[in-house]
Amino acid sequence: MQSSSNLFPVALISAERRGDLSEDVYRLKPGNSPDWSVEIAVTRLGMADEPASRGVPVILLHGSFSNRRFWFSPKGLGLGAYLTRLGFDVWIPEMRGHGLSQRNEDYRRNRVADYARYDLPAIAAFVREQSGQIPHWIGHSLGGITLAAALGGEYLGEPAVASAAFFGTQVSRTYWPLKIPPVEWSGRFILKRFAQLSGSRLKRGPEDEPIGLALESMRWYGLFGRFGDKDKDWWAGLADVQVPVLAVSAAGDHQDPAWACEKLFEQIGSEHKQFINLGREQGFNDQFGHVEMLVSKAAQAEVWPLVARWLADQHTPLLGEKPDLAAAV
């Protein structure tokens, strides 16, 4: 593997033009986790006719059963493309075994703990090396959970995170059957027979998810479970997070309800944080759902501009006066 980094082996595996945008895909091999076969694909978007013009870096983390196309379609649509055209330096990682990231040898045992402890710090280091700036982070669903775990576990901090935005992210919804030990034990016994959960069969998305993630979440929601691993309590650690934080829920999101997203938001200790629930009560014209909050025509009109305003200024209320976007890029 050739290297375009002084940190660890990195290969540029693809360089394409998508209309007015450039799409460069890097394959990172950090070698920082117990499974040395892990490789992470990271897509960098830019303006094709202005390759040297790069603004503030933004890292977009996809959710479960998903990949980079959640943020950026082959036709150049999506929040990633929108932010790039505004002048931001957009980076889109794909988690182990998703999209262009090949499945690692121990794929079935992959967990949020691995993503948070090993993969996100490597991604952060590479983006900082290439851009020369501290990146902002945006996570949707499981991507947001992973970001929260990295912050709460102190795997990422202010040197690597300028701000953090969570969309449809929560770990507080109660699954009562899992509070009954025999039910949890039976569920774990059955799940361990599988290597992955199929996104297409479950009609959840284009990608599969390793069974390790399901087993890990069952432990979180069990009788004495907590959001963390055997070494650290990520939930408690969120109280010490001081980077600016944005949390967004959707009134029509039945998977990650607003009350649970707000509970995560309230646990974060930052003095500079904002919570928005996308619904008619806060003046939005559509009842957004879990995916539609970021991928829909309504999101393009109402949510994407909010994201850009947040990236430009994390201290001004988003539903108040609009800041000058040009000052941040």
Q: CA–CA distance from 124 to each of 26, 158, 161, 176 (Å)? A: 14, 11, 8, 37
Q: Does 282 or 257 have the greater pLDDT score?
A: 257
What is the model's pLDDT at position 173? 78
What is the layout of strands, in order, in the sheet containing 273-278? 10-18, 21-28, 40-47, 89-94, 57-61, 136-140, 163-167, 245-250, 273-278
Query: In this predicted structure, what is the pLDDT of residue 125?
Result: 97
Query: Does residue 78 have a pLDDT over 60?
Result: yes
CA distance 28 to 42: 7
List pLDDT tens digits, range 192-246: 888 889 999 988 999 999 999 999 998 888 767 789 998 899 999 999 999 999 9
pLDDT at 27 over 70: yes
Rounded to 5°, angle at Cα 146 from 106 and 193? 35
Half-sphere exposure of residue 73: CA atoms within 13 angstroms, side-chain side = 6
Helix (H) or strand (E) holding 277: strand 273-278
pLDDT at 2 over 70: no
Q: How confident is the model at residue 178 (pLDDT cuts 50, 70, 90)?
A: low
Rounded-to-integer distance, Cα 274 and Cα 295, Å: 21
Is residue 322 scored above 50 in pLDDT? no
Q: Cβ neighbours of residue 99 under 8 Å, at least 6 residues apart? A: 41, 67, 68, 69, 207
Q: Given this model, what pLDDT does residue 51 score?
A: 72
Predicted local distance difference test score (pLDDT) of residue 205? 92
- pLDDT score for 44: 97
Model pTM?
A: 0.93
Closest by CA position to 84, among listed 178, 6, 18: 18
Residue 191 binned pLDDT confidence (cut-offs 50, 70, 90): confident
pLDDT for res 323:
44
Q: In the chain, what's the furthest Cα-to-Cα distance?
A: 60
pLDDT of 177 above 70: no
Task: Give the pLDDT confidence of 278-302 residue by residue, as tens digits.
Answer: 998 888 977 799 999 999 999 999 9
99 or 183: which leads in pLDDT: 99
Cα separation, 37 vs 33, in Å, equals 9
Residue 185: band (very low, low, confident or very high) from pLDDT cuts 50, 70, 90 = low
- Read off the pLDDT of each residue in 304-324 and give the average, rounded to a whole number: 85
Q: What's the mean pLDDT in 122-130?
A: 97
Closest CA to 147 of 54, 221, 241: 241
